[in-house]
Amino acid sequence: MEDSQLICAYLDSLDGEPGFHRPLGSPDWAYLRLEFMARSMCEGIAAWGREMSGPESERSPTVVAHEVDRSRRMADVFEGYVADLLMQGAPRMAHLILAVAVEMAHKRGLGDLANGRPQLASWMRPISGLPSMQKTAPP
C-alpha cells in the first residue's frame, strides 16, 4: 500500500471499530469537504517542502510563492471552520490531516499558520499535545 489514506483506513479497520473512517454508506459530503480541503492544504505544504529541499538555483519562485499563499489562504479558511461541529469531538481524518499540515508547516520553516488565527490556534493546542503527534513530529 502506497497511499497514506489507504494505510490509515486499513489500520483503522483492524479492530472492527473504525474511529477515523466511517463505514461505507451514505457519504457525509460536508465532512468529506473538510477532509479534502485539509488534504489540499497538506499537499501544498508538502509541495513547498519538496521545492525548498532542492538547490536554491533549481527552485521555482512561482511554485514557492503559490504554495505559501495557498497555505495561508487555507489556514484562513480553517480559522472559520474549526468551530464547526464537524471539527469538534473525537478526532477523525480531517482533524489529523489538518493538524499534520499545520505542524508540518511550522516545523519545516513555512511558519506558524495558527499565528494570528486564534480559533485555529485554540483548536490545535490539544491536538498538538497528543503523544502520537509528539512522537511523529519532524525533527
pTM: predicted TM-score of the whole model, two decimal places: 0.82
- Contact at 8 Å (CB) between 47 and 104? no
Residuewise pLDDT in 10s, the chain (139 residues): 356 666 766 777 777 776 666 655 566 888 889 989 999 999 999 999 999 999 999 999 999 999 999 999 999 999 999 998 888 888 888 898 999 999 999 989 999 999 999 999 999 998 888 787 777 776 6
Listed residue (92, 126, 81, 104) closest to 21, CA to CA: 92
Distance from C-alpha of 56 to C-alpha of 20, rounded to nearest angstrom: 39
Which domains are assigned to the chain? 28-136 (1.20.1050.10)
pLDDT value at position 15?
76
Distance from C-alpha of 51 to C-alpha of 85, rounded to nearest angstrom: 35
Cβ contacts of residue 134 below 8 Å, gap of 6+? 128
pLDDT value at position 1?
37
pLDDT value at position 103?
92
SS3 112: coil
Cell of 46: 508538502
Distance from C-alpha of 72 to C-alpha of 77, rounded to nearest angstrom: 9
